[in-house]
Amino acid sequence: MSESRLLAILTITAVIITACSPVSGGDPNESVAATPGQGQPTQGGGEPTTGDMVHGPVFIDDVQLLILESYPIQVMLNISGELPTPCHIFQADVSEPDEDNEIQVEVYSVVAEGEVCIEVIQPFSENVSIPMAGKPDGVYTVWVNGEKVGEFSYPG
């Protein structure tokens, strides 16, 4: 086999192996921290957003209310659906319980104003923690974007 042919085969093999290797990224099961009552959007790591960000839609397919078996009790939402583009960032604001023990969760996306992005929907699955430390005992109702998701008894 000639030297140039062997070099071409090795180059093609290296390109194929590199193209098929997994892309390293963040943990898709990482919880999205939502700070109640602040009204400032948070990104996946909980840092406040900066720059000229505009609200965008979120297309929710499924919401599950999870009660984790721990002490103290932990309450979490698992939300899955699609974002309009890969440039949109999932956001969730969790309100303090009102006088009727209703917890409102606003789910939306943000994107940099004027950002050019590929037009393809981006699937997501996010965990949103509902902080309950210091809350009085009772039955709480959780609403996501105006729709009732479920109820739970605290402390359990």
Question: What does the pLDDT look like over 21-78, one tens digit per residue?
Answer: 555 544 544 544 444 443 434 444 444 445 689 999 999 999 999 999 888 789 999 9
pTM above 0.85, yes or no: no
Angle at 93 between CA 88 and CA 95, to 5 degrees: 165
Question: What does the pLDDT look like over 124-151, one tens digit per residue?
Answer: 999 999 999 889 999 999 999 999 999 9
On average, the pLDDT of the chain sits at: 82
Whether the Cβ atoms of residue 140 and residue 131 lie closer than 8 Å to each other: no
Closest to 138 measured CA to CA, from 114, 155, 115, 118: 155
